[in-house]
Amino acid sequence: MGGLRTAGDLVARMQMTRRMRLPEAKAYVAEKLRVAPEDLSDPVAMADARRGLGLGAIPTEDTATVEDALAIEAKVNIARVLDVPVRSVERLGALTRSRRG
Amino acid sequence: MERIPTRMGDGSLVRMTRDEIEAEIRAGTEAGAKRAKVEPLRDDEVAHLVDIFASPARFSAVDIGGEVILTSDGVGSQDAGSRVNDLQTYEQTVCTDTVELYHHDYSFKPIKPVLPFEQETMRQAQFLLTIPCAYGAMPDLGRYTAPDGPVPNWSQLLPLGKIDEARAAQEEAVEYAVEDIVYVAEGMYEAGADGVNLDTAGAAGDADFLAALKAVERIRAKYPDWGIQIGMASEFVLGMHGELEYDGVRLAGLWPAAQMKLAAKAGVSIFGPAVNVNTGKTVAWNVARTCTVVKPCTEAATVPVHLNGGMGVGGVPMHAVPPVDAVSRASRACVDLLKLDGL
């Protein structure tokens, strides 16, 4: 579907975590991103949508700046925007929590 | 009449007329219907396949908006850079929707002793990747047989007529395999993986498939929202044991629709049917047969279905470098006709 260029990774997360079939997964992601389902595989439309919500981009100087969330930073936002568990984000939270009594 | 370039199941290029291609497609769907005891493709579906395969274009694709999700059984060659570099390349250059970390000895049993190393690699990958990253391996029940494994070798017992001993050995191997799969899956969950892929399930027959189902059941019970995928080894489950059941259903001889129902019952997120390629037939014949065999599976699916499409399965030629004209036609045809959720 295009992965980071589009919304392929986001739709994949709905299949993996919620066992949604494709039409349902696309509709869910589109609603959360406030775009039309047909925009999800459009790299031009999705570049702006992903950047606006901090959902990650291809990490080159042409496609991202230091202002953009990438990798684990972006996954924190993906978990919140899609309302799905992302295991590495859960680990990040658990391991960076204050350990002082 | 124009002779159109098309492919055989071994990848070699041949030229056929449109009528010859249609004849291949009709023969393929009839072969699939007869073998799997399902309905052949409708005339409009045959016509769509003819349109796809009668085009001389280098590449074929679904309509804009009809794209599907791609999952994999391991990504990267492991020949350049690190395994994490492989995953980054697939994320940022190939732009796949998901990636899968894998050990080159792609079975759960040999991963068990190196799990801490695999966990650290997964942990590093999760820092650097945005897209979902699963961990994959095979149940690979044969690994548990003598002389390398702990149970007697049923492939040696069966020719001797020692049926009961062969069955007992397979049942014992199932329990070992389930423990190893669950152990690795738990380790990968702790390391931050987005899911686990039990790939080539059923490769050693019905006991192999049973091990996968029992492992999925336990993993799902522990992690209700985690990605769990089963990818099958072949189109029907071989009856190496012959009497094994899951949820009251005999596993030997199951075709994709019945396989999917049991995998969904066990708790998979994604089910991957596999249909083998006949290298002596055309890709058009193989794709028509694949669509015929898998159609009842996608029609009845309650979970996403990602058809196995790669060297020797899903209509893709059995060749190490399958031609893109054949891969794209097989992929498009199966997505269009089967309403797939992914590949």
Q: Which residue of A has its CA nearest to B229?
A: A16
Q: Which residue of A has its CA nearest to B65?
A: A38
- Burial pattern B121-145, b for ≥16 Cβ within 10 A else e, equals bbebbbebbbbbbbbbbbbbbbbbb
The answer to whether residue B192 neighbours chain A at the CB level (below 8 Å) is: yes
With tokens 């005891």, the residue in question is B37
Whole-number pLDDT of residue A40: 98
Nearest CB to A1 within list B67, B126, B226: B67
Give dist(CA A1, CA B272) in Å, integer: 17
Question: How far is the alpha carbon of A100 from chain B, nearest alpha carbon, in Å?
Answer: 23
Confidence of residue B172 (pLDDT cuts 50, 70, 90): very high
Question: How far is the alpha carbon of A22 from chain B, nearest alpha carbon, in Å?
Answer: 5
A41/B64 CB distance under 8 A: yes
Please report residues of A whose CB lies closer than 8 A to that of B269.
Answer: 15-17, 19
What does the pLDDT look like over B242-268, one tens digit per residue?
Answer: 999 999 999 999 999 999 999 999 999
The answer to whether residue B277 neighbours chain A at the CB level (below 8 Å) is: no
Whole-number pLDDT of residue A79: 98
Q: Over chain B, what is the mean pLDDT?
A: 97
What does the pLDDT look like over B81-136, one tens digit per residue?
Answer: 999 999 999 999 999 999 999 999 999 999 999 999 999 999 999 999 999 999 99
| A46: helix, strand or coil | helix
Give dist(CA B190, CA B36) in Å, integer: 41
**Best CA proximity match to B246, nearest among B145, B144, B174:** B174
Angle subtended at Cα B320 by Cα B316 and Cα B325, rounded to the nearest 5 degrees: 45
Taking the domain B4-338, which CATH number applies?
3.20.20
> Which two three-digit tokens encode residue B76?
């990267």
Interface test with B, best of A18, A68, A88, A89 (most B CBs within 10 A): A88
> Which two three-digit tokens encode residue B232?
């099958």
Confidence of residue A99 (pLDDT cuts 50, 70, 90): confident
The answer to whether residue B299 neighbours chain A at the CB level (below 8 Å) is: no
Query: Can you tell me the ipTM of this complex?
Result: 0.98
CB B197 within 8 A of CB B229: yes
Residue B232 has pLDDT above 80, yes or no: yes
Q: What does the domain layout of chain B look like in residue ranges?
A: 4-338
Give dist(CA B335, CA B65) in Å, integer: 12
A21/B341 CB distance under 8 A: yes
Confidence of residue A101 (pLDDT cuts 50, 70, 90): low
B132/A16 CB distance under 8 A: yes
Give dist(CA B318, CA B297) in Å, integer: 23
